Chain A
Amino acid sequence: MRIMGKRQLGELEPIELTVAILISNLASQPLSDVGTPLIYGLVPVLTLFCLQVTITLISAKSIRFRRLLGGSPTVIIENGVIDQKELKANRVSLDELFAELRGMGYTDASEVKRAVLETDGSLSVIPYDRFAPVTPEVLGLSISEKKLPTAIISDGRVLSENLKAMGLNEKWLLSQLRKNGVKSPDGVFLMTADSERNTTIIKREAKK
């Protein structure tokens, strides 16, 4: 997988893709052949799982091991200039590079301060500030932080843990439902609440 290079990997790290392919192949063998015991698939799959967990742990602790298995990220564009040597070394064509940039909203390499080809094959782009999306901070605006809503009813079911985590209780919940003309949680498709107890209720559609 390392020899194949980053372009083959999509979004998975090399070890993850290898293990995924191996597991699917091993698991399918006893399923397709009645004469092969299930244990012939089960033991190798479990062994691979154990090895993958161990390798992940070692990778997390050791940079050298991580680089050996997954390689290193490569800078493809620096200060608006494409590194042709790295592009060739990673077997990425200009068409592919510009397709990725266009997908992120950049039409030219000169708009990009740095573009990194990650170990999982994806491209990370850091644009020059003048081409970056505008934020309220850039415009000198101060806005209040959005309160993150949490689901407390999902498809008619009360999510008690979330309710408890928000510091709310069922009594409050039922009172909110009554205020919105809903008799019970069963009649709710989705209900969310934020830290200021602002709620959003989507009622279930009536059955036709």
Chain B
Amino acid sequence: MKKELFALFLLIVIIGFSVFNSLFISAIAEKAEKLVLLSTNSAESVVDAEKLFSDNRAYLGAVLRHSELDAISDGFYELKKALVSGDGAQSELAAERLIARLHAMERMEILRLDSIF
């Protein structure tokens, strides 16, 4: 019976961690998305968004595929490049792409029917 109780406890821990992980990543993604949206008016907000992302990079690297995180890092680089060049249309496009990647990162960890099938 000890083994079964341990298994049940472990399952509860795994489910609990999955819920926490999902909520935590959603919170980071939402904050970063909001900051990136503001970037068209203020370049500082991109820096803040990138800092938020890099501060949590260690945790994100442990729970998400590195290729996904690299894609988001590339997105920040493209956005900063577009802002520096002063091209408004390019900046908007880069911001939209980055937001899409952040959104994908958030949705990846949410359990949905279409993610199962």
Asked, given contacts A46-B14, A47-B14, whether A53 binds B4 with beta carbons under 8 Å apart, the answer is yes
Asked if residues B14 and A39 are in contact (CB atoms below 8 Å), the reply is no
Q: Which residue of B is nearest A57, CB measured?
A: B4
Interface residues of A in 41-89 (CB under 8 A from B): 43, 46-47, 49-51, 53-54, 57
Asked if residues B65 and A50 are in contact (CB atoms below 8 Å), the reply is no
Asked if residues B63 and A50 are in contact (CB atoms below 8 Å), the reply is no
Interface residues of B in 1-49 (CB under 8 A from A): 3-4, 7-8, 10-11, 14, 17-18
A35 at the interface (CB under 8 A from B): yes
Please, could you name 24 A-B residue pairs with CB atoms under 8 Å apart, sorted by A?
Answer: A34-B66, A35-B65, A35-B66, A36-B66, A37-B63, A37-B64, A39-B63, A43-B14, A43-B17, A43-B18, A46-B10, A46-B14, A49-B7, A49-B10, A50-B7, A50-B8, A50-B14, A51-B11, A53-B3, A53-B4, A53-B7, A54-B7, A54-B8, A57-B4
**B interface majority secondary structure:** helix
**How close is A23's CB to chain B, nearest CB, in angstroms?**
14
- The chain A residues found within 8 Å of chain B, CB to CB, are 34-40, 43, 46-47, 49-51, 53-54, 57
Known: A36-B66, A39-B63, A54-B4. 14 other contacts (CB 8 A): A34-B66, A37-B63, A37-B65, A38-B62, A40-B65, A43-B17, A43-B18, A46-B14, A47-B14, A49-B7, A50-B14, A53-B4, A54-B7, A54-B11
C-alpha spacing A54/B8, complex, angstroms? 8
C-alpha spacing A86/B15, complex, angstroms? 44
- The chain B residues found within 8 Å of chain A, CB to CB, are 3-4, 7-8, 10-11, 14, 17-18, 61-67
C-alpha spacing A57/B6, complex, angstroms? 13
C-alpha spacing A106/B11, complex, angstroms? 48
**How close is B57's CB to chain A, nearest CB, in angstroms?**
12
Closest 4 CB pairs of A and B: A53-B7, A35-B66, A50-B11, A50-B7
C-alpha spacing A54/B3, complex, angstroms? 10
Q: Which residue of B is nearest A30, CB measured?
A: B65
C-alpha spacing A12/B78, complex, angstroms? 54
Residues of A within 8 Å of B65, CB to CB, are 35-37, 40
C-alpha spacing A157/B30, complex, angstroms? 61
